[in-house]
Chains A and B, each alone.
Chain A
């Protein structure tokens, strides 16, 4: 059987960071092929190169034996490669049939033939084994699962030979997952190849014929599912040599009273969150993409507040219904998306660093304003003066401005959501030691990071999230395998025994 897709020697760098190097991927017709790896292993980048969202720096892509180089998603679709991303490419105001046929509507006598369009869609859905989805339903009113089906039907109507699915079950309920399983099986029967990007081992072993494992942007192996066990797979996904050095805990760091306590915290995205962070303590929040890490940060900071449970800061119960209240309670949040949420890009270093103080009378004071300059220099900020616009700074220096802006308010609790995302190694190390010194000063630090190694290397305790709940808590310095076991849902409950019953 000849390969439908052959990617060879794919390399890609973003801003000087090598994300993929020399990755090969071969997918045959009618094959369900899993692409697995940790966060940041390069799965999404590889998939986006295939979909024409990114272009590769190195390597070749062959489809059906012909060399292709997609520069635009539309070109990839035309060639038969469709992608179902986590954010759907659907128009919520149009019907299922209109979305499925968008751009190639059937015509009759100069006008759109809606009857034919609806009939064709109904037939396509029936063919997929879906009988509870009306072609005339408005997509915006559908469940996530039905939207996903619409997306798949759209891909098929565009003549897709290969459908890439990025974490397709991330937002599905259990019954809906079963439907997706059936759908994938149908696709395989029809000779359509599926590239299945997922963290969920169970799905991979249920559905996929082959598994390609990526780690740190490199190919680990490509194996038949039958030839590997879940435990082996996890071991091969992680097990990285610890090359990054993390500064040790500073002398004089004392673990004090509880500064942040969440009991039974929950909202639409997370549930049953029990978490304590003490003064001088760094608590890591680990979990896969979409497991609810950022959602906890946003709840603590009052962006998407908890609707259940209680939060106490320094022993006082607080209602964190808005960011202003969180700031007043002494909480700081360094957001995941620095450019969109952390900085006013067109304003100066100074204006950005003053922003929290200027905007919040309850933390504003002359002394604090006076200390900003010292803060910036203690963070080793490199800028052409403090009136330079932050948009011209490097990612690392931008992040230092964000950190300075929060430290100026002298918070008691600081939440760092992916603080080292997109910044260079030097700045990373600076941030690591800043985090250490914050703990030494008696702050409670809640650290979220996709790079497991950061959480393991810095945190005193690690809470691992799975599907919006804390699946388990581990001591700092645990192995990546232990964290992944909780994060992938292979293990849950308190970290007592071996208890890794495969469900």
Chain B
């Protein structure tokens, strides 16, 4: 549609895709030295499969982080969603649409609760979503002792089917990402997320209904977690309360930050996040193929994330009100 305007964040996003390419090249080289081939079909499938779950969560997370918020409850939301999906489907293909709708409703409600707590009660997002996460965890722990529900094989295909070496779930994730890119760029509410995260006072003074924007971001983030829960259900064939133990929310935040979105909000985007997700997936596949032990793997992951953020920090904005008067002049006598 309107494609000719230069993207303001292109520089950073391009940089991240460059980093992704670099990670791919280095990873491929490392694997090759080990006698393997990173681009073998099995490895490609592995890589792409890894992107989808974190991808859904990270897309939603991008929206809230852009608003200078956060959501630590997405892992629990996803786990609950997998249970809602599996128990509602109950092995019947006919129940799939209802289950999907119900999952989106429940996860959206959780998101709106998060948003309302943050926007209206003014609770710090970290604490607010830690709290809702704990509430969900308590519910999951007491209500579900193990897997529940049954996912019909039709829907399990969402977890396993591939077109060539590309899993359908990864395609769906990319479609959601594309929708999110469009949303942030072309709708008022999406565009205003940058303003709310950039400076909530400026946004308010420009007539933006800031609480509504924040609330919307959280609802969408919750729904993205819901889709992740659907994917979990499709993969496991059942609902799993224990899914939250994987701390998906931290992977999602890491991917968002790797993707160049500022934790302080107002800068970044979903395109970068997708690259961030891909970087993590490539690393994990490389580690897997090279059979690096789990501890070293986590150390390397941590190091990559810290390095990336340290690099971005140099590009951050300086909001000092004072402006240099003698930046270029030499001292001279009066």
Q: Which residue of A lies closest to B191 (CB)?
A: A112
A469 and B334 within 8 A (CB): yes
B207 and A103 within 8 A (CB): yes
A138 and B331 within 8 A (CB): no
B321 and A87 within 8 A (CB): yes
A86 and B331 within 8 A (CB): no
* Residues from 30 to 53 in A contacting B, C-beta threshold 8 Å: none
Shortest Cβ distance from residue B62 to the other chain A in the assembled complex, whole angstroms: 15
Count of chain A residues with Cβ under 8 Å from any Cβ of B? 52
Q: Which residue of B lies closest to A171 (CB)?
A: B323
Chain B residue contacts of A295, Cβ below 8 A: 322
Q: Mark B188-204, 1 if CB is under 8 A from A, else 0.
A: 10011011001101111
Chain A residue contacts of B323, Cβ below 8 A: 144, 171
Q: Of A93, A95, A292, A471, which one neighbours B317 at CB under 8 angstroms?
A: A93
A103 and B331 within 8 A (CB): no
A467 and B325 within 8 A (CB): yes
The answer, yes or no, to whether B187 is at the interface (CB within 8 Å) is: yes
Known: A77-B207, A78-B207, A93-B194. A112 touches B187 (CB 8 A): yes
Q: Mark A249-271, 1 if CB is under 8 A from B, else 0.
A: 00000000000000010111111
Chain B residue contacts of A269, Cβ below 8 A: 322, 324-326
The answer, yes or no, to whether A98 is at the interface (CB within 8 Å) is: yes
The answer, yes or no, to whether B267 is at the interface (CB within 8 Å) is: yes
Chain A residue contacts of B330, Cβ below 8 A: 308
Shortest Cβ distance from residue A78 to the other chain B in the assembled complex, whole angstroms: 7
B266 and A266 within 8 A (CB): no
* Residues from 150 to 166 in B contacting A, C-beta threshold 8 Å: none
A272 and B332 within 8 A (CB): yes
Contact count A vs B, C-beta below 8 Å: 122
A104 and B207 within 8 A (CB): yes
B187 and A493 within 8 A (CB): no
Known: A270-B326, A467-B325, A468-B325. A94 touches B205 (CB 8 A): no
A91 and B266 within 8 A (CB): yes
Q: Which residue of B lies closest to A143 (CB)?
A: B323
Chain A residue contacts of B6, Cβ below 8 A: 136
B333 and A111 within 8 A (CB): no
Known: A91-B199, A98-B191, A268-B327. A492 touches B334 (CB 8 A): yes
The answer, yes or no, to whether A239 is at the interface (CB within 8 Å) is: no
The answer, yes or no, to whether B143 is at the interface (CB within 8 Å) is: no
B195 and A271 within 8 A (CB): no
Shortest Cβ distance from residue B259 to the other chain A in the assembled complex, whole angstroms: 15
B198 and A92 within 8 A (CB): yes
Q: How far does the alpha carbon of A45 sit from the alpha carbon of B36 in the complex, in Å?
A: 72
Known: A103-B206, A112-B188, A171-B323. A94 touches B5 (CB 8 A): no
A115 and B334 within 8 A (CB): no
B5 and A74 within 8 A (CB): no
Shortest Cβ distance from residue B11 to the other chain A in the assembled complex, whole angstroms: 9
The answer, yes or no, to whether A499 is at the interface (CB within 8 Å) is: no
B188 and A74 within 8 A (CB): no
Chain A residue contacts of B198, Cβ below 8 A: 91-94
Chain B: interface size category: 35 or more
Q: How far does the alpha carbon of A266 sit from the alpha carbon of B325 in the complex, in Å?
A: 11
Q: How far does the alpha carbon of A253 sit from the alpha carbon of B8 in the complex, in Å?
A: 62
* Residues from 181 to 238 in B contacting A, C-beta threshold 8 Å: 182, 185-188, 191-192, 194-195, 198-199, 201-208
A86 and B321 within 8 A (CB): yes
Q: Which residue of B lies closest to A52 (CB)?
A: B205
Q: Which residue of A lies closest to B4 (CB)?
A: A115
Chain B residue contacts of A267, Cβ below 8 A: 326
The answer, yes or no, to whether A140 is at the interface (CB within 8 Å) is: yes
The answer, yes or no, to whether B121 is at the interface (CB within 8 Å) is: no
The answer, yes or no, to whether B329 is at the interface (CB within 8 Å) is: yes
Most buried by A among B185, B194, B201, B322: B322
The answer, yes or no, to whether A411 is at the interface (CB within 8 Å) is: no
Q: How far does the alpha carbon of A309 sit from the alpha carbon of B203 in the complex, in Å?
A: 43
B331 and A308 within 8 A (CB): yes
Q: How far does the alpha carbon of A104 sit from the alpha carbon of B207 in the complex, in Å?
A: 8
Known: A74-B207, A140-B317, A468-B326. A91 touches B2 (CB 8 A): no
Q: Which residue of A lies closest to B1 (CB)?
A: A111
Q: How far does the alpha carbon of A493 sit from the alpha carbon of B324 in the complex, in Å?
A: 23
Known: A112-B186, A493-B334. A93 touches B8 (CB 8 A): yes
Most buried by B among A103, A138, A272: A103
The answer, yes or no, to whether B314 is at the interface (CB within 8 Å) is: no
Chain B residue contacts of A104, Cβ below 8 A: 206-207
* Residues from 86 to 109 in A contacting B, C-beta threshold 8 Å: 86-87, 89-95, 98, 102-105, 107
Chain B residue contacts of A94, Cβ below 8 A: 8, 194-195, 198
* Residues from 241 to 274 in B contacting A, C-beta threshold 8 Å: 266-267
Q: Mark A271-284, 1 if CB is under 8 A from B, else 0.
A: 11000000000000
Q: How far does the alpha carbon of A330 sit from the alpha carbon of B325 in the complex, in Å?
A: 29
Chain A residue contacts of B326, Cβ below 8 A: 266-271, 468
Q: How far does the alpha carbon of A113 sit from the alpha carbon of B201 in the complex, in Å?
A: 24
Q: How far does the alpha carbon of A1 sit from the alpha carbon of B6 in the complex, in Å?
A: 46
A92 and B205 within 8 A (CB): no
Q: How far does the alpha carbon of A492 sit from the alpha carbon of B334 in the complex, in Å?
A: 9
Q: Mark A76-88, 1 if CB is under 8 A from B, else 0.
A: 0110000000110
Chain B residue contacts of A470, Cβ below 8 A: 334
Shortest Cβ distance from residue A322 to the other chain B in the assembled complex, whole angstroms: 18
The answer, yes or no, to whether B319 is at the interface (CB within 8 Å) is: yes
Q: Which residue of B lies closest to A271 (CB)?
A: B326
Q: Mark A295-323, 1 if CB is under 8 A from B, else 0.
A: 10000000000001100000000000000
Q: Of B8, B187, B205, B329, which one neighbours A74 at CB under 8 angstroms?
A: B205
Closest 6 interchain pairs by CB?
A: A268-B324, A111-B186, A103-B206, A103-B207, A91-B198, A102-B206
> What are 6 A-B pairs with beta-carbon distances under 8 A?
A104-B207, A105-B191, A264-B333, A266-B331, A269-B326, A471-B334
User: 10 more A-B contacts (CB under 8 A) besides A91-B203, A111-B186?
Assistant: A91-B194, A91-B199, A91-B266, A92-B198, A102-B192, A104-B206, A136-B8, A268-B325, A292-B325, A470-B334
| A interface with B by C-beta (< 8 Å) | 73-74, 77-78, 86-87, 89-95, 98, 102-105, 107, 110-115, 118, 136, 138, 140, 144, 154, 158, 171, 264, 266-272, 292, 295, 308-309, 467-471, 492-493
| B interface with A by C-beta (< 8 Å) | 1-2, 4-6, 8-9, 182, 185-188, 191-192, 194-195, 198-199, 201-208, 266-267, 317, 319, 321-327, 329-334
